[in-house]
Structure 1
Amino acid sequence: MNLDALSFPIVQISLDVTSLDEALETAALAVDAGVDWLEAGTPLLLAHGLRAVEALRQRFPEHPIVADLKTMDGGYLETEMMAKAGANLVVVMGRAHEATIRRVVDAGRDFGVKVMGDNLAATDRVACARWMEDLGVDFIVHHIGYDERRLIAGLSPLDELDAVVRAVSIPVQAVGGLSIRQAIECPARGAPLVVIGAPLVIDADEFKPAAAAGLREVLTEICREIRKTQRSMFNSQVASRKSQVASRKAESER
């Protein structure tokens, strides 16, 4: 599965559930609706280990799978294990030591998986994103966490999204309690990796699929709205940002 030449925007569903059967059922609905990537969420991995990744790979052989283990240490081994289970993308935390991020990137290259760098809980999320790109990650996850959103009302990954997008030349994903409209707007703000999860399709309190009827219809509409924008526009945006970041780096090295 080649992830070196992607067309944007990309829609990903976060399977943050604890039942493997529910994860597979929700993934099937999502695939029917047009979702591109399937994420084995952290609760699912804690409940079932890498067997969850293996089950998703067996059921959906053509869809990229994100293993959201949130690696903090043991970067090479964890990445190797996730890759061998069938993951195409892994997540390393920006709060991890530089050595861990480098080892995840090394393993990603050795085992053919892409690396998503997550700036959850970073004291400076913009600087963290830039730093992770310098260390070699392939994507940035700009993330406001589940507990953080409940402690501090009004937080949103949209707050610093523009600054993060300007700071890096790699694709960005905004994560953390977005509404349907906010998720749909992310590509227009330069974040072409759109993740759909809690509270849109996953119950954020019970970690089960949302009980509301018409889940497939909701996902279909989200995918349709997101793809109204020409994919070529995002490829041009990424190329432009790469040029801008390269120019800034060259200037700073003089």
Structure 2
Amino acid sequence: MKIQLALDRLTIPEAIRLTRLVESDIDWIEVGTSLIKEFGMESVREIKKAFPHKTILADTKTMDNAKYEGEISFTAGADIITVMGNAPKVTIETCLEMARIHQKRVMIDLLNTSSEQLKSLLTMKDAIFCLHISKDEQELSGKNEWKNNEISAADPAPMHTIAAAGGITIDSLPKLLAGGIDIAIIGSAITKAANPSEAAKQFKQLAKGGVIINE
């Protein structure tokens, strides 16, 4: 399992400083939607410049204007962009085409995606699929089950790469690992931890199938 660090509600310097603390124990770096909305593509450029050897995901959550958003994201240094699963099919297909042109990848965020939409998406074998519990759902309803129609944490489609996001903790990670999740997207459990470096180490140990060793 890969660990994707989600950077949200930070300044660019704060995001870079924090990532340096945990760099050795995370695989992918997500430039969160909040950074992109507040600081634009400069956030992607600066984080790619700081971590050129890491896979950088720009969480654009594209719903429209896919050619433009794909172009500016990949040009800024993103290796992966996100598109919403409930976006028009042509938008998702355009994101995938832009990724092919730039030799990059696309993650489809399945938040609020219907069963009918999902059936169509499952034919897109080049995409990464993300099971996502929104921050609002976490805070207002306490939802913590990573399920989305036919794809779930317990039974992911074997031909696809599956990610999970939204309130993942040390306690919930083993369930995702047992369910065959390929990428755990972790934000505040690392970024808001008293000791981010130690938290990242613990997540990495579990992601490798190990146990937490407290020194």
Give the TM-score normalised by the residue count of structure 2: 0.89
* Contact in 2 for aligned 1:101/1:135 (Cα 8 Å): no
1:122 to partner: Cα distance: 1.8
1:86 to partner: Cα distance: 0.3
CA 1:56–1:184 in 2, change beyond 3 Å: closer, same or farther? farther
Q: Which runs of 5+ in 1 are unaligned?
A: 1-8, 203-209, 230-254
Say which SS state the counterpart of residue 59 (structure 2) adopts.
Answer: strand
CA-to-aligned-CA distance 1:6-35 (integer Å, 9 cap, x gap): xxx211100012311111011111213x20
Structure whose residues are more often strand by fraction: 2
CA-to-aligned-CA distance 1:90-121 (integer Å, 9 cap, x gap): 10001100010010011000011101011111
State whether structure 2 residue 205 is matched by structure 1 residue 224: yes
1:79 to partner: Cα distance: 0.8
CA distance in 2, matches of 1:40, 1:186: 23
* Contact in 1 for aligned 2:108/2:130 (Cα 8 Å): yes
CA-to-aligned-CA distance 1:153-199 (integer Å, 9 cap, x gap): 33421584224x03x5111011111221212432221111111113x
* Contact in 1 for aligned 2:167/2:186 (Cα 8 Å): no
CA distance in 2, matches of 1:42, 1:69: 6
**Counterpart for residue 3 of structure 2:** 11
Identity among equivalent pairs (%): 27
**Counterpart for residue 140 of structure 1:** 129
1:108 maps to amino acid? A
CA distance in 2, matches of 1:63, 1:186: 23
* Cα RMSD (Å): 1.9
CA distance in 2, matches of 1:107, 1:46: 21
1:71 to partner: Cα distance: 0.3
* Contact in 1 for aligned 2:33/2:59 (Cα 8 Å): yes
CA radius of gyration, larger in: 1
State whether structure 2 residue 30 is matched by structure 1 residue 36: no
Counterparts of 1:20-169 in structure 2, within 5 Å, are 20-32=12-24, 34-124=25-115, 128-157=117-146, 160-163=152-155, 165-166=156-157, 169=159
CA 1:137–1:147 in 2, change beyond 3 Å: closer, same or farther? farther
Structure whose residues are more often helix by fraction: 1
Say which SS state the counterpart of residue 134 (structure 1) adopts.
Answer: coil
Give the TM-score normalised by the residue count of structure 1: 0.76
* Contact in 2 for aligned 1:119/1:128 (Cα 8 Å): no
**Counterpart for residue 192 of structure 1:** 182
